[in-house]
Amino acid sequence: MSATLAGPALLHDPAFNRGSAFAAADRARLGIEGFLPPVADTLETQVARVHVQLGTLDNDLQKYLLLSDLQARNETLFYAVLMSDPAVFMPLVYTPTVGEACQKFDHVLRAARGMYLPITAKGRLKELLANWPQKDVRFIVVTDGERILGLGDLGVNGMGIPVGKLALYTVCAGVPPELTLPITLDVGTNTATLLEDPLYLGLRQHRVRGADYDAFIEEFVSAIMELYPKCCLQWEDFANINAVPILARYRDQTCTYNDDIQGTAAVAVAGIYGALRISGQKLTDQTFLFLGGGSAATGIAELISQAMVLEGATIEEARARNWLFDVNGLMVKSRTDIAGFQAPFAHDHAPLTSFVDAIKQIKPTGIVGVSTVPKLFNQAVIEAMAEINDRPIIFPYSNPTSRSECTAEEAYKWSGGRAIFASGSPFPPVTLGDKTFVPGQGNNVYIFPAMGMAVLATEATRVTEDMFIVAAQAVAEQVTQEDLDRGLIYPPQHDIRTASLHVAARVAERIFDNGLARVPRPDDIAAHIEALAYLPVYPAV
């Protein structure tokens, strides 16, 4: 990467702008003397100034906007700030705040970021994509905005998600930002309030479905494969009617994965490995009941099943230990509304429409909330789990916080401090009596940045299912006894970069073993990854 600009225009190039950190000699050489206050900052003092500015703001959306402006102005400083304390900054650029930012995106938009591909440009997608200035794109996070977190169809307002996820590729696993491209496909929206909002920025039409949608996706994937042959395509926040068939269609054709199905599955399995170290139980003895039967639920249920197979179960036995409960109740074989991707988890049982009754009859050791509906893990649910389990696994995974099936405090309080808890969005520590519990964040952020770095380091041709099991194991093996003693079943987030680089190295090893790499195997994979990982240091100009 090299700067093409000099003079005042350089101050508007976020990749090279140093703002007040341009040294006196550089200011003279680059023709920007007089455009900046006289004192030349260090990156450290600039970070300290941003911390001060954030401290003056009293709500998280304002902080999100300040950070977005910074990203558009000075990318190095943006990443230096985020990496100064990921545990503090992730909730601002990711869930929960990104959810509110997406809901209000058309009202709060300042600088556009990434690419928007409307279905009205069908036939010209390659031409549009070729406008992107970077010619070596390695990671695309793409959404069509139909299932943004648990917030529903937000149309092009969903762009906050690809932007936020890709920022975390860099923060958590050191994927260089210039290799990343956030994309929103605009096929319309079915959300009436957006269609009626004069400020809405997407196509004012209902969602295109069927053959026209499929052809649009096909043209998009083909264009990416032609323009960026080393690119990994991450599908994010599609409705399951599209997410599941798209993954099935392309997973064997190109380097691609669905984060909501596969990344979420890996983080859930990692959390379960941690939970079993607390309970001292075997994976093959567990039974899971999912609230929700969509992309996340079926993805997790299948990866748990694969993990059980690795521990000696048959795939049929394993799937029989995973149950789904959706808006119409327990998924039983006699139901006529079961989709193909749900069928492996629809078992023989009498129909049930009460989740508490399902807990009492199926006797799960763990419940996973991926329903998008808040508060459904109510007191009766948690108490039912605590009655049949010494250490019930309670994972309200729906995002953002406003959609969480319960809070950490509720789970600990109603289970008498016995719940093994993790949630999709973060909750603060909870003190009950003389014990303080540190809730973990069961979020695919432990997986997708690391998966990205593994793909970068190997130039992998495919993303395979076993890579997600390896990722789950690699997350889990970093959890210490001290973490578990506090109830924490994931590596602490303040050092998520170390955790992610470890996961990346383990996954990269598997990619080399599988013969899916396009680069020679280095002697020391971890060192190879460390050398590739981005650090927020001003590039030469």
Ligand X SMILES: NC(=O)C1=CN([C@@H]2O[C@H](COP(=O)(O)OP(=O)(O)OC[C@H]3O[C@@H](n4cnc5c(N)ncnc54)[C@H](OP(=O)(O)O)[C@@H]3O)[C@@H](O)[C@H]2O)C=CC1
- For the annotated catalytic residues, the residue numbers are 94, 165
Token pair 């432990």 in the structure block, residue:
446
Would you count residue 103 as binding ligand PYR (CB under 6 A)? no
Supply 140's token pair. 């695309």
Burial grade of 527 (CB within 10 A; 0-12, 13-18, 19 or more) = exposed
Would you count residue 372 as binding ligand PYR (CB under 6 A)? no
What is the rounded CA–CA span in Å between residue 510 and residue 518? 13
Cβ at position 147, least distance to ligand PYR in Å = 7
Cβ at position 358, least distance to ligand X in Å = 11
CB closer to Mg ion, 234 vs 500: 234
What is the rounded CA–CA span in Å between residue 262 and residue 372? 18
Q: How many CA atoms lie within 13 A of 94 on its CB side?
A: 22
3-class secondary structure per residue, 108-144: HCCCCCCEEEEHHHCCCHHHHHCCCCCCCCCEEEEEC
Which residue, judged by CB position, is nearest to ligand X in the bound state?
Answer: 294
Query: 106 touches which of ligand PYR, Mg ion, ligand X, none (CB within 5 to 8 A by kind)?
Result: none
Supply 275's token pair. 């939970």
Count the Cβ atoms, other than its own, within 10 Å of residue 36. 17
For residue 25, give Cα distances in angstroms to 16, 33, 43, 76, 536: 16, 9, 17, 20, 21
Would you count residue 371 as binding ligand X (CB under 6 A)? yes
Question: Residue 96: is the preceding peptide bond cis (ω within 30°)?
Answer: yes
What is the rounded CA–CA span in Å between residue 355 and residue 384? 10
CB closer to Mg ion, 102 vs 272: 102
CB 119, CB 212: distance < 8 Å = yes
Count the Cβ atoms, other than its own, within 10 Å of residue 519. 13
Which residue, judged by CB position, is nearest to ligand PYR in the bound state?
Answer: 399
Whether 33 has a binding-site annotation, put simply, is no
Whether 328 has a binding-site annotation, put simply, is no
Residue 78 DSSP one-character state: H
Cβ at position 321, least distance to ligand PYR in Å = 25
CB closer to ligand PYR, 72 vs 241: 241
Query: 327 touches which of ligand X, Mg ion, ligand PYR, none (CB within 5 to 8 A by kind)?
Result: ligand X
| Number of chain residues interacting with ligand PYR (CB under 6 A) | 9
Please identify which residue in 157, 399, 415, 458 interacts with ligand PYR, judged by CB under 6 A: 399
Would you count residue 405 as binding ligand PYR (CB under 6 A)? no
Query: 267 touches which of ligand X, ligand PYR, Mg ion, none (CB within 5 to 8 A by kind)?
Result: ligand X
Q: Which stretch binds ligand X (CB under 6 A): 2-10, 137-145, 201-209, 370-378?
A: 370-378
Residues 174-213 that bind ligand X (CB under 6 A): none
Whether 383 has a binding-site annotation, put simply, is no
Please identify which residue in 237, 302, 405, 483 interacts with ligand PYR, judged by CB under 6 A: 237
| Number of chain residues interacting with Mg ion (CB under 5 A) | 3
Residues 376-405 that bind ligand X (CB under 6 A): 397-399, 403
DSSP string covering 287-312, please?
A: -EEEEB-SHHHHHHHHHHHHHHHHTT
- Among residues 220, 98, 75, the alpha carbon closest in space to that of 161 is found at 98
Residues 81-110 that bind ligand X (CB under 6 A): none
Strand-pair partners of 326: 329
Token pair 């009596």 in the structure block, residue:
433
Measured in residues, the chain has a length of 541
Cβ at position 58, least distance to ligand PYR in Å = 26
Helices (H), 367-488: 379-388, 408-414, 448-458, 465-476, 481-485
Cβ at position 234, least distance to Mg ion in Å = 10
For 380, the 3-state DSSP assignment is helix
CB closer to ligand PYR, 188 vs 424: 424
Please identify which residue in 106, 219, 260, 326 interacts with ligand PYR, judged by CB under 6 A: 260
For residue 128, give Cα distances in angstroms to 120, 178, 219, 361, 529: 12, 18, 12, 55, 32
Residues 413-472 that bind ligand X (CB under 6 A): 424, 442-444
CB closer to ligand X, 109 vs 301: 301
CB closer to ligand PYR, 100 vs 259: 259
Whether 260 has a binding-site annotation, put simply, is yes
Whether 236 has a binding-site annotation, put simply, is yes
Residues 189-248 that bind Mg ion (CB under 5 A): 236-237
Q: Which stretch binds ligand X (CB under 6 A): 12-20, 290-298, 359-367, 459-467?
A: 290-298
| Number of chain residues interacting with ligand X (CB under 6 A) | 28
Binding mask 242-271 for ligand X (x = CB under 6 A): ------------------x---x--x----
Q: Which stretch binds ligand X (CB under 6 A): 20-28, 269-277, 289-297, 452-460?
A: 289-297
Supply 258's token pair. 């669905």
- Cite the beta strand spans of 224-365 per DSSP E: 232-235, 256-258, 288-291, 322-326, 329-330
Would you count residue 296 as binding ligand X (CB under 6 A)? yes
What is the rounded CA–CA span in Å between residue 400 and residue 377? 15
Cβ at position 327, least distance to Mg ion in Å = 20
State the binding site for a divalent metal cation: 236-237, 260
Binding site for Mg ion (CB under 5 A): 236-237, 260
State the binding site for (S)-malate: 147, 399, 443
Binding site for ligand PYR (CB under 6 A): 95, 149, 237, 259-260, 399, 424, 443-444
